[in-house]
Amino acid sequence: MALFKRKQSHSFPPPHWSITKKCLDLIFECAKSSFPNEFGGMLKTSEGDKQLITEIVLLPGTIAGESHALFQMHMRPIDFTVVGTVHSHPSPSSRPSEADKQLFSKYGKVHIIVGMPYGYKSWSAYDYSGKKITIAVV
């Protein structure tokens, strides 16, 4: 009798994202200066390390209100180092809404939401499916 081994599928580990402290501080300051409206932008990695978030990109024409930040996605740069989105909530919640999850599923691999008071204890990161992930601050 022959024994057949099931062919194993290869799954790749998820990326280990990190963000510079300088970039995260800039995100907090943008959120504070936009309050009571939401702030929104895109996350950009360094050329040398595709998993280190170093900059934010502001899209022209972004419309911000007290309960939304509407990105003009047709204004995105053609830049493969843009890996996701960042936006603020004018409340302490950094949990994604259903609209946030739809955005995540269409644009990028990593997403950050910052809630009030816009500091190191009031932000969260998510993958494209809305699952909470960890990002190291370096």
**Every domain of the chain and the residues it spans:** 18-137
Question: 3.40.50.300, 3.40.140.10, 3.40.640.10, 3.40.50.1980: which CATH number matches 18-137?
Answer: 3.40.140.10
pTM for the whole thing?
Answer: 0.82
Give per-residue pLDDT as tens, 65-115. Answer: 565 565 666 566 677 889 999 999 999 999 999 999 998 998 899 999 999
Q: Which of the following is catalytic: 29, 38, 55, 98?
A: 38
38 is catalytic: yes
Res 47: pLDDT: 84
Over residues 25-43, the mean pLDDT reads 92
User: Between these two residues, 62 and 2, which has the higher pLDDT value?
Assistant: 62
Write the CA distances from 46 to 54, 78, 82, 84, 131, integer angstroms: 6, 15, 9, 13, 24
